[in-house]
Each structure stands twice: as C-alpha cells, then as structure tokens.
Amino acid sequence: EIILKRVKEMANDITKDYAGRRPLFIAILNGSFMFASDLFKHLNIEAELCFIKLASYKGLKSSGNVVTSIGLEDDLFGKEVIIVEDIVDTGKTLHNFLPKLLHQQPRSMRIATLLHKSAATEFPLTLDYVGFDIPNKFVVGYGLDYDGLGRNFKEIYQLV
C-alpha cells in the first residue's frame, strides 16, 4: 500500500510536469519492470514507453562495468526523456550511461527512481523523481532481485 501510494504520487507529479509534452519513458531492465508498470498505468498524459537493458547486477555489490544498452530502438532527438530506474546506489550506472543518451540530443532528460540510497551515492546525478530514500542496505522485492530471485515479492525487504 505504501509503495503504491508513493508511485501514484510520482505519477501525478509527472502528469502535472509533462502536460501536453508526450514524454518517452525509458525503463531500465530488469529491476524496474514492476515500478515502470505501476508508474505508467497511473499517468494521465500521452506518453511512450520502452525498455532497455544495461549491465547485469551480480551479488551484493554494484558491478563496476556498465555495458552498452540493448534494445534502444527509438531515436531520442527532440524527445522528452524520462529514465525509469528501480534503485540508484552509487549512481555509477546512470552517471556512465546518461552521456550516451544525451549524445542523441533529446529535448530534455529527467530521472525517476523508486529507491535512492543517498548515503551510498558517489557519482554526481540529479534525480528528479525519487520514491523513497533508503538506508545503504541491500533490498529485494517489487522487481528487485537477489541472484535472480525475489522480484515477485509485492513488498520490499532488506536482505542483510
């Protein structure tokens, strides 16, 4: 209930901010699929959605290397882009990936993340829509996994 209430609030904020602008949501797989789905269904504006995949996450620590994105077919030139992430930890993933998107000259680019471990964030990033600021602990559920499992939990749990 708490998660959904917050996601609806985020959808309302985005609806207000993007009225008449038709944003393109780029959701980063796998972890963001559930958040992206709930966020998208509560928008009250015309919007597009695509999913892309970046580096996979292994074990309990954020992996260092970010590979190029898979699945980005849209041309971003002139688009109003909103990146949808499940969680921002060190910020390295998005910090490394955003320049690649900006290279395509979108009209604007914002970030919506469900979770933010602000105490762990080392790389400069502006997060425009944040669901919850959480402690620097590993979490699973609501799309987030531990070694592939736990994504189907409706709630979010701290693992250790």
List interacting residues with ligand 5GP (CB under 6 A).
Answer: 31, 57, 62, 85-93, 138-140, 144-146
CB of 45 to ligand 5GP, least distance (A): 25
Are residues 83 and 95 in contact, defined by beta-carbon separation less than 8 angstroms?
A: no
For the CB of residue 13, give the shortest distance to ligand 5GP in the complex, in Å.
Answer: 21
- Decide whether 51 or 146 has the Cβ nearer to ligand 5GP: 146
Asked whether 96 and 79 are in contact (CB, 8 A), the reply is: no
Structure tokens of 2? Answer: 């708490």
From the CB of residue 15, how many other CB atoms can be counted at a distance below 10 Å? 14
Q: Partners of 140 in the beta sheet?
A: 157
Minimum separation from the CB atom of position 69 to ligand 5GP (A): 13
> Which residues carry out catalysis?
89
DSSP state of 142: T
Q: Which is nearer to ligand 5GP, 11 or 27 (CB)?
A: 27
Which is nearer to ligand 5GP, 27 or 81 (by Cβ)?
A: 27
> Which residues make beta-bridge pairs with 29?
53
Q: What is the C-alpha to C-alpha distance for residues 66 and 55, in angstroms, rounded to an integer?
A: 5
